[in-house]
Homo-oligomer: A and B are copies of this chain.
Amino acid sequence: MKEKIAITRMKGEEKSTADDWVASEGPLTITLNRQEIVTFLCTPGHLEDLAVGYLLGEGLVKSVSLIEEIHFFKTEGILAVQVKSVNKVAMKTLGKRYLTTGCGSGSSFYHLMDEHMIDTVPARSKAQLRDLQAAMKMLQNNSPLFACTGGVHACALFSGEDMLVLREDIGRHNAADKVLGWFYRQNLAPEQTCFLTTGRISSEILLKVAKAAIPILVSRSAPTSLAVDIARRINLTLVGFLRGKRANVYAGEERIFA
């Protein structure tokens, strides 16, 4: 997941050579029932989770129980997923999913995305701010690839104080897909879980988490306007800028207790 390379370090007028670590990046192509779907540029590791998270998140496969086989052809860089049936509607609109008639306000956009694909998240789960703070600390203290390279994002799934899974990747979306793929394959109930990320929350990340019916999404960074808008419509709790004892709650505030 990382490579050691020789670099030149500069500090003011000093130049020296040193060994340094950089995060690995490589292409991975996903096929679904032998049809090419997407090529990621991603960090190696947990590629099956990445594929499952992506395929279910995009709605191309409706349930993890439909997956019959996953095979990684390492030499070819192809991860082949075989399923009982694909979601034909989603396959048809693949690559055209975001087409909309309402730019700016984005109304048509999330009508398409949420009313057809995303249910309102049930309100019953709750979280304490101090648990989220502890979780964010744990996320940051358990990201070895970031500690070593400074060049990746980390995502994790928590249940209360317990970290269920943590994944790092050079791409924000890939790290999210790796966590969500793991989650889908475990057949866990989403109600008591909470999704943490080091990265910014765009509508795409938010929709991935919403698709998994995870009720609480927490970042140490900022959300976008569209992410906030969708979160409010589907009643997903969105917390941003969780740093030290501070946090901004952008949506679903009733789930967060001081």
Contacts and interface: CB of A to CB of B under 8 A. Distances in A.
Nearest to A15: B258
Given A75-B101, A77-B100, A104-B74, A226 B41 contact: yes
B222 A29 contact: no
Given A36-B99, A246-B11, A226 B149 contact: no
A25 B225 contact: yes
Given A22-B223, A28-B103, 18 more contacts: A3-B225, A5-B228, A8-B248, A8-B249, A9-B248, A12-B258, A23-B222, A24-B104, A24-B224, A25-B106, A25-B202, A26-B106, A27-B103, A74-B103, A74-B104, A75-B103, A151-B200, A170-B224
| Copies, count | 2
Chain A's interface size range is: 35 or more
Interface of A: 2-3, 5, 7-15, 20, 22-29, 36, 39, 41, 44, 74-78, 95-106, 109, 129, 149-151, 170-171, 200, 202-204, 221-228, 241, 245-250, 253, 256, 258
Contacts of A104: 24, 26, 44, 74, 77
A200 B78 CA distance: 25
A200 B14 contact: no
Nearest to A109: B27
B250 A39 contact: no
